[in-house]
Amino acid sequence: MSRPHENSHEGEAEDVSGAEAQVIPLHGPGREKPDPAAQADRDLRESEEAQEQLKQERRDDAPVVEFPGAARVSPARNRPADEDLLPASLRTALGFLRDRLTGDYTVDEFGFDAELTETLLLPPLRALFEKWFRVDTFGVENLPADGGALLVSNHSGTLPLDALMTAVAVHDHVPGGRHLRGLGADLVFQVPLVGSFARKSGQTLACNADAERLLRNGELVGVWPEGFKGIGKPFSSRYKLQRFGRGGFVSAALRTGAPIIPVSVVGAEEIYPKVGDIKLLARLLGLPYFPVTPFFPLLGPLGAIPLPTKWSIEFGEPIRTDTYDADAVDDPMLVFTLTDQVRESIQQSLYKRLSQRKSVFRG
């Protein structure tokens, strides 16, 4: 007798017992159990990358203040807005000190130091120009924006402050801030400290060789042909031009073809009214004169303070020299004629300005 249910269960048991056991992994593909050392290495790299990214973000957000003057070393570098927190005068001063310490500045063949002149010398002179003498300028359009020209001016005032004020007028009123390269007497360069600063501010000896080199280099050259005769004349001879010498400045202009610009200065004659001269003391000190004014030497150092007169500086119409032949410089009559023309132009300009002046101190 057959037992179908038992046979059926026995068959299933045989099938189960006869089949191979299937192993199901706990970690499927892509779910393998990680290696502890490899996982620690990945965690370390991720942590370092996160820290580096955080540092970079902080650097990008942090304000950067360039050292003043750095723009001159690397012009392509963009200057951050935060640098404007420093006053312009402080940035200029710090840049000047940095250049002095590193030697990153230039001096030309005559000893002219443009950076020192603009940073140290011009600011106090500009204060005198604007606040003390209250200088008015006329005819600035007659000064060339580029190229050489010879400026010929009257000379007065016991001390050569008129030359310094003319230099400020040229620098501050001519486009591009041009410097006036003055021709000075030998005595200027023999005085200790004064001579050094004169060289650094662009002055050189009053000789034709230096004048011609400067003019050919396209510089504005200043000359005061009256010399000590003009600057040291007594107060009774004020605004009366003295002799202009032998016309050496005209020869320099003819050789280089540079225009001659007459310059007239009103106001300088009254800053130190010279009423006397101690000749013995002048010889002992090696000076052309030792002035006596109503206040000096009576008041000592206080007497050396210039009176606050009102000034005017006028630049006349240029007198061309490039229309003459190359051998015109050898014609003494032509040189004399041009010299007299320049002198007469300055004298007439002085008379005109004096006729329009209502007060020595108010203009």
- Paired residues of 181 in beta bridges: 221
The CATH number of 106-271+306-356 is 3.40.1130.10
Query: H-type helices in the chain, by residue range?
Result: 4-18, 36-61, 70-73, 88-102, 114-116, 122-127, 161-173, 186-190, 194-200, 208-216, 227-231, 248-256, 279-285, 332-356
User: What's the DSSP call for residue 207?
Assistant: -
Res 246: pLDDT: 82
Q: Is pLDDT of 5 > 50?
A: no
Global confidence as pTM: 0.75
Instruction: Kindly state the average pLDDT of the residues 132-157.
Output: 96
pLDDT tens by residue, 251-309 = 999 999 999 999 999 999 999 999 999 999 999 999 999 999 999 999 999 999 999 99
User: What's the DSSP call for residue 298?
Assistant: T
What strands, in cross-sheet order, belong to the sheet with 260-266? 136-138, 312-315, 260-266, 149-153, 220-223, 180-184, 204-205
Domain range summary for the chain, segments of one domain joined by + = 106-271+306-356
Give the CA angle between residues 331, 333, 338 to the nearest 5°.
Answer: 100
Phi then psi for residue 205, to 5 deg, are -65, 145
Q: Is pLDDT of 323 > 90?
A: yes
pLDDT tens by residue, 47-104 = 777 777 766 666 555 554 444 444 444 443 444 444 556 677 777 778 878 877 887 7
Q: Is pLDDT of 316 > 90?
A: yes
Res 88: pLDDT: 75
Instruction: Kindly state the average pLDDT of the residues 127-146.
Output: 96
**Residue keyed to tokens 């005559």:** 110
- Average pLDDT value for the chain: 84
